[in-house]
Amino acid sequence: MSETTINELEVNGVVYVKKGSDTTQHATYKDYCIVRTFSAGVFAGNIDKTTSKVGTVRNARRIWYWRGAASLNQLAMEGVKKPKECKFAIEVPEVHLTEIIEIIPCTKAAFDNIKAVPEWRA
């Protein structure tokens, strides 16, 4: 008889992860958000943990400039209409933010759209 191992379990839209499991390998849209900070700018990524205004964002991309979305709200709901004109930095495994002022959960459509925007590099 084979044994089944479960590392993640979703209950009512909340994903629970087995303690000690490596969760940084793949971004998922379930906890993917647009995160605006007081002085570090805007990021897109998976919210790992937040306490008041401090949080960790995994699989994070800095959103330097975007075209084709009127606001961060539209970006989180639909993504951008002009991805080749956007400046989304390369993805980093983790960024620790200390002055979070806004967190907007993304839809699956926005997640797919943001992930498809070409990396902006110097």
Cβ atoms 31, 84 nearer than 8 A: no
Task: Tell me if residue 30 falls in helix, strand or coil.
Answer: helix
Predicted local distance difference test score (pLDDT) of residue 64? 97
Full domain range(s) for residue 79 = 28-116
Domain containing 95 — which CATH number? 2.30.30.100
Predicted local distance difference test score (pLDDT) of residue 14? 59
Average pLDDT across each block of 10 residues of the chain; the chain has 122 residues. List them in order: 63 60 55 94 88 87 97 97 97 94 94 96 92
- Whether the model pTM is above 0.85: no
105 beta partners:
33
How many separate domains does the chain show? 1
Q: How many helices (H) and strands (E) does the chain have?
A: 2, 8
Helices (H), the chain: 72-78, 108-116
Q: Is residue 20 part of a domain?
A: no
Separation CA 63–CA 60 (nearest Å): 9
